[in-house]
Amino acid sequence: MKGAAIPVFRGRRVLLLHKADRDRQVLEAQLKRLGMSVECRDTAQAQDWSLIDVCFFDADAEKRHVFPWGSNEPDIALIAMIGSETPERIKWCLASGVSSFLVKPVRSSGTYLALMQVEHSFCQRNRIKAEMNELQERVKSRRIVFKALLHTMKLFALNEDQAFEKLRSVSMQQHLSIEALSVAIVCGDLPLTWGGAQEQGDGPKDRSMH
């Protein structure tokens, strides 16, 4: 059975930062037609950001919106409502990490497109960010893995390939990543035996293979 492929925005929470005018009115009506719950504000207070899924903001506002995350990697998806297609405005929006644009004057068409684009690009960005974090952690733990490898080679008189194979098989038995296993070995929490890891105490040490 396949999950629903139809993107459903029903129930998503929108923060709409725009002065009360026709553009805001048209957008609010269209978002409500899509089943979304909409909070309209001229500018955002700190408490407005909790529990929000996506934010539309006025990129032409005289006073630029300040977002609470203070970086160009927003915590929630941003869509800029833009009237002036000037390089300065567009660059500022992109630098703020917007995932999509809605051109003013706002019409009912274009909103669904912007939301679909956000669904794709913001989620993709989050996925890539998570993958990058994981890779960075791995790079950081290379020294530890190397130490654990040396320890294993010495302990069992194995060559590098054999030692790595042993670490790999123990990590599978223990349901641990190679990196986490290496930390446990180097810290002395998980003494290795020929059969695998020795059973000792609580935590990950419990899960040695019998």
Residues that bind another protein (CB under 8 A): 1-2, 4-6, 8-10, 26, 30, 32-35, 107-109, 112
Nearer to another protein, 110 or 204 (CB): 110
At closest approach, how far in Å is the CB of 89 from another protein? 24
Nearer to another protein, 2 or 210 (CB): 2
Nearer to another protein, 93 or 115 (CB): 115
At closest approach, how far in Å is the CB of 30 from another protein? 7
Residue 151 CB neighbour total at 10 angstroms: 17
Cβ within 8 Å of residue 189, ≥6 positions away: 200, 203, 204, 205
At closest approach, how far in Å is the CB of 36 from another protein? 9
Nearer to another protein, 12 or 166 (CB): 12
The token pair that represents 38 in the structure block = 């909409």
At closest approach, how far in Å is the CB of 4 from another protein? 6
Amino acid letter at 194? W
Q: How far is CA 189 from the centre of its chain?
A: 32
Residue 79 in contact with residue 55, Cβ under 8 Å?
A: yes
**Nearest partner of 19 among 69, 56, 68, judged by Cα:** 56
